[in-house]
């Protein structure tokens, strides 16, 4: 008789069920990695990495590859627990200490509560319309309302998000193809190859050490977004997640009653064969979508910046960079390309904003329902609905009040992602070694990758906190 290895001192024990068979045709299961890549393709890919390329060329592009590979390993360990139990990684952490999930949710909320993630898209719209800076807040408010309606009225929320992200990635690929044909020069291709090999450098004066470390760390995703891979693969029905109903709209969807905790399979010969099939697919799905899409986008957007604004003085690592780059593309290729760049940029950043609201609300609703509201009759769908609209109303209030982002929130936002990734890298080692049976627990080179992640994000945490304290004191 198999005894579950998932701890149950804090939360109820898991039920024992066989692992579902992996489908023979897996195309319908492609998606979580693309959603992760699509949500992560935000200001870092459109501003930070192109800004680095504009300052020092492509000699640091290898850093994006290191960051994305590190996050691929992290994502797979986050997925390992969910594939094996149907529970999210945050629920797994909460089994060791009740409030771990709440800690991560609070840091994610504080990082994303200020609506800067939607004002960037609104600002790009003003580049297209010629509106003044004063129009940004009203465009952003309209976007917030559209995002909230989209996320809370879609019958199955993950499907709606997935379609938006797929459209975004298609638009970015169109931009990339056009850029390759008309804007990226031969010198940029040579510089890319050299930047990945003989010209690779670190540190890279005159750029700050902290900026470079942060660029590596958050290439692809970062912070709370990686944790949401659990939620997205569960809604997609991967592994034991097939037994857990998807998040639906309490208005237009059909809610299902379900236990707030998960399952575990006995490590029989049949179940382990199914596990190997699921694990192989999950690794390929993440590698061919999240990793490839993230790196290709960073590399080609950096090459575009290298081909157009490299060496130009006075460029800023902010949304203003996209205005300068769009104007350069308009002058060098044609007015149509500048417009295309801003249109796709605005739509892409809007889709990222939608993804940020979704993953923040998913993490919060899952933790609240599973840990704190387990005995209450309220469904996780209704909790999600409330959090989405609460984030929207807070964002609208901030925008209408005309507040600039306080320095303390900038400090917290810059610090939380590094702290989160450092801490949950440690917790993933504990979770995937202590909560899972021997044949499927993390080991070997994947354990080494997690130890590297702990060391890297631990160093980044110390560096970031020190830098931000110095700014506060200075």
pTM exceeds 0.75:
yes
b/e code 204-222 from CB counts within 10 Å (16+ = b): beebeebbbbbbbbbbbbb
Rounded-to-integer distance, Cα 140 and Cα 349, Å: 12
Query: What is the per-residue pLDDT for 174?
Result: 94
206 upstream amide cis, omega within 30 of 0 = yes
Query: What is the per-residue pLDDT for 44?
Result: 81
Rounded-to-integer distance, Cα 76 and Cα 291, Å: 12
> Distances from the Cα of 407 to the Cαs of 140, 354, 403, 466, 471, in angstroms?
21, 25, 12, 15, 9
The CATH class of the 15-473 domain is: mainly alpha
- The one-digit pLDDT tens for each residue of the chain (474 residues) are 788 899 988 999 999 999 999 888 777 788 899 999 999 888 788 889 999 999 999 999 999 999 999 999 999 999 999 999 999 999 999 999 999 999 999 999 988 888 888 998 999 999 999 887 789 999 999 999 999 999 999 999 999 999 999 999 999 999 999 999 999 999 999 999 999 999 999 888 888 887 888 888 888 888 899 999 999 999 999 999 999 988 887 777 666 656 568 999 999 999 999 999 999 999 999 999 999 999 999 999 999 999 999 989 889 888 889 999 999 999 989 999 999 999 999 999 999 999 999 999 999 999 999 999 988 888 899 999 999 999 999 999 999 988 766 656 555 666 678 889 999 999 999 999 999 999 999 999 999 999 999 999 999 888 877 776 776 676
The domain locations on the chain are 15-473
Residue 248 bridge partners (DSSP): 156
Answer for the pair 159, 309: CB distance below 8 angstroms, yes or no. no
Q: Where are the alpha helices (DSSP H) in 86-135?
A: 89-94, 100-112, 116-129
């Amino acid at each position: 008789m198999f005894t579950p290895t998932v701890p149950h001192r804090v939360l109820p024990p898991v039920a024992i069920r066989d692992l579902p068979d992996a489908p023979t045709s897996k195309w319908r299961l492609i998606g979580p990695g693309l959603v992760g890549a699509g949500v992560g393709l935000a200001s870092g890919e459109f501003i930070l990495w192109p800004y680095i390329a504009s300052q020092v060329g492509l000699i640091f592009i290898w850093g994006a590859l290191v960051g994305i590979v590190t996050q691929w390993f992290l994502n797979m360990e986050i997925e390992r627990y969910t594939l094996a139990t149907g529970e999210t990684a945050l629920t797994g952490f909460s089994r060791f200490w009740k409030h771990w999930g709440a800690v991560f949710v609070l840091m994610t909320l504080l990082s994303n509560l200020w609506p800067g993630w939607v004002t960037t898209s609104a600002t790009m719209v003003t580049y297209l319309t010629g509106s003044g800076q004063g129009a940004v807040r009203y465009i952003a408010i309209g976007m917030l309302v559209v995002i909230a309606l989209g996320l809370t009225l879609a019958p199955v929320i993950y499907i709606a998000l997935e379609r938006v992200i797929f459209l975004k990635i298609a638009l970015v690929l169109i931009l990339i193809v056009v850029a390759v044909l008309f804007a990226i020069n031969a010198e940029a291709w040579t510089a890319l190859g050299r930047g990945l090999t003989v010209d690779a450098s670190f540190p890279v004066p005159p750029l700050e050490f902290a900026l470079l470390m942060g660029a590596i760390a958050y290439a692809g995703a970062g912070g709370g977004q990686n944790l949401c891979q659990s939620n997205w693969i569960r809604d997609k029905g991967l592994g034991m997640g097939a037994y857990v109903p998807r998040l639906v709209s309490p208005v237009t969807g059909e809610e299902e009653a379900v236990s707030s905790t998960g399952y575990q399979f006995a490590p029989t010969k049949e179940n382990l064969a199914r596990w190997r099939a699921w694990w192989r697919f999950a690794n390929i799905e993440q590698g061919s979508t999240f990793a490839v899409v993230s790196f290709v986008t960073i590399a080609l957007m950096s090459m575009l910046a290298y081909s157009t604004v490299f060496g130009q003085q006075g460029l800023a690592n902010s949304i203003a960079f996209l205005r300068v780059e769009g104007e350069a593309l308009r002058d060098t290729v044609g007015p149509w390309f500048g417009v295309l760049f801003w249109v796709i940029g605005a739509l892409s950043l809007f889709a990222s904003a939608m993804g940020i609201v979704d993953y923040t609300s998913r993490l919060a609703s899952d933790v609240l329902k599973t840990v704190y509201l387990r005995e209450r009759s309220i469904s996780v769908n209704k909790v999600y609905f409330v959090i989405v609209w609460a984030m929207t109303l807070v964002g609208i209030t901030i925008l209408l009040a005309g507040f600039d982002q306080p320095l303390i929130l900038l400090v917290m936002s810059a610090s939380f992602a590094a702290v989160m990734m450092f801490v949950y890298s440690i917790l993933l080692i504990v979770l995937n070694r202590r909560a899972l049976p021997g044949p499927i627990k993390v080991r070997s080179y994947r354990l080494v990758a997690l130890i590297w992640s702990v060391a890297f994000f631990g160093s980044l945490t110390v560096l970031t906190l020190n830098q931000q304290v110095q700014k506060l004191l200075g």
